[in-house]
Amino acid sequence: MEQSFGNSYDHRASLRFFSRWWKVLVIVGVVAAVASLVVSLLIKPLYKSSAVIFPTSSNRLSKAIMDYHYSLDFMDYGIERDCEYAIQILSSKRMQHAVCEHFNLMEHYAIKGANPLFKLEKQYKSNISVKRTDFLGVEIGVLDQDPQWAADIANYMAAMYDTLCHEIHADRAESAATVMNGVVGAMEQELDSLSSTPGARWKDELIKDKCEQLADLQTRAMQTNVDKDLKVSYKYLVDVATPADKKAYPKRLLIVLAGTLGAVVVCIFGLLIFAKKEDEE
């Protein structure tokens, strides 16, 4: 006597099912494949171009050059923190507005109707990506129907990165320079006042200390003034984006396979339900 443990699977029931409905499944599969192919042909192809940059170290250039005690090298590649900064700047609204305005993407994407800005932002985020590479680089990927436009947008973003970095650093350096120049001016006035006031030996020692402090402050003020007006590149451009000669999307074979398989699976479930109801009757 045969005993069955656990759930047993009857292969004969499956064979009976497919022998009965194979023609329906074949017809559904063929129709789904043709429909998926037609849909994939109607989708406009997109081409992808990518530019890769290495963010440079965020060390202060003026301090690295002017201060021999400064141990960090401004020529170093950026660390993980600099990579995250670069991704944030490249993904920022300021970058998005600059790209949309420069390339007139509202017209290029043929955006019309209600909520145009919302549609533009959605299309922008769908076509443009910024991601970190395995070696602390940043890849700017752009999809577009025109391969030249995709390359131009990626290269423009790489160039615009320097502009935005300079604006951020210049703004901070401007504030620092204002503060440092004020401190230096106050120290100079204090020294003038001490020099013109008669005093004992303690005054000479105080003036000497104040002069040393003033020299240090003047050096730091000079560094902030240099940083304020200095325009340098904040990246190494590793790969320049070039127009692609092969589309990146859609993958027609994947669309046809997914559409066909999905239709056949849905059809099988439908036939199983129909067969169950038929048996119950």
- The domains of the chain, with CATH numbers, are 11-43+250-281 (no CATH), 44-249 (3.30.1890)
Given this model, what pLDDT does residue 130 score?
Answer: 96
Q: What is the pLDDT of residues 205-224, one digit of tens each?
A: 777 777 777 777 777 777 77
Please give the pLDDT value at position 10.
63
- Output the pLDDT for position 9: 55
**Structure-token pair, residue 48:** 């992808």
- Max Cα distance, the chain (Å): 122
How high is the pLDDT of residue 273?
83
How far apart are the C-alpha atoms of 123 and 178, rounded to whole Å? 42
- CA-CA distance, 137 to 82, in Å (whole number)? 10
Write down the pLDDT at residue 233.
77
CB 162 within 8 A of CB 90: no
- The first and second tokens of residue 226, run together, are 């240099």
Report the half-sphere exposure of 216 (CA within 13 A, side-chain side).
Answer: 7
pLDDT of residue 5: 47
Q: Are the CB atoms for 260 and 32 separated by under 8 Å? A: yes
- Which residue numbers in the chain have pLDDT < 50? 1-6, 64-66, 68-75
Tokens 């401190």 belong to: 183
- List the structure tokens of 173: 């350096």
Other C-beta atoms within 10 Å of 14: how many?
10
Q: Which amino acid is at 126?
A: S
Please give the pLDDT value at position 226.
66
**Backbone angle region of 104, left / alpha / beta, with phi > 0 → left and psi within -120 to 50 → alpha:** left
